[in-house]
């Protein structure tokens, strides 16, 4: 019975952290993510999907490598901060244009690139999680 309770608690924490991660990412964008999705903005959808997958990769590795919920949360937080930093670094190394403006305008190329930056970073960061 204890195993079942541990699994249920872990699932609830994982879902909560994934949702929290997505809410924080949505606060970072100057536009409303859900409004852009309703409009059919593929670039915003790709960027949001990359954030979701990147967050899930870090969360999954944190859960897999830690038997303690607290350590899982700690390592997720470390990895998540790295994902946020990557977004701002990406914004800095592209001084010719503002990423969020191009996403809002539907620039799919920028959406794909940002999506892959999040996923690639998540794989790299998750290799450091112990």
Q: Whole-structure pTM over 0.85, yes or no?
A: yes
For residue 79, report the phi and psi dihedrals to the nearest 5 degrees: -65, -40
Percent residues over pLDDT 70 in the chain: 100
Write down the domain spans for the chain. 1-127
Which is nearest to 106 in space by CA: 25, 28, 40, 51?
A: 40
pLDDT digits (tens, 9 = 90+) for 40-79: 999 999 999 999 999 999 999 999 998 888 999 999 999 9
pLDDT at 95: 81
- Largest Cα separation within the chain, whole Å, is 57
Residue with the two structure tokens 């859900």:
34
| pLDDT of 1 strictly over 90 | no
> What does the alpha-carbon distance between residue 31 and residue 44 come to, in Å, rounded to a whole number?
10
> What does the alpha-carbon distance between residue 66 and residue 85 come to, in Å, rounded to a whole number?
24
């Amino acid at each position: 019975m204890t195993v079942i309770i541990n699994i249920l608690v872990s699932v609830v924490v994982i879902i909560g952290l994934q949702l929290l991660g997505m809410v924080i990412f949505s606060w970072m964008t100057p536009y409303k993510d859900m409004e852009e999705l309703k409009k059919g903005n593929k670039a915003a959808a790709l960027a949001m999907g990359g954030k979701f997958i990147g967050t899930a990769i870090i969360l999954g590795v944190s859960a897999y490598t830690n038997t303690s919920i607290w350590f899982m949360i700690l390592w997720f937080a470390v990895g998540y901060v790295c994902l946020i930093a990557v977004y701002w670094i990406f914004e800095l190394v592209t001084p010719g244009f503002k990423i969020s403006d191009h996403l809002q305008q539907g620039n799919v190329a920028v959406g794909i690139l940002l999506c892959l930056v999040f996923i690639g970073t998540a794989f790299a960061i998750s290799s450091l999680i112990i």
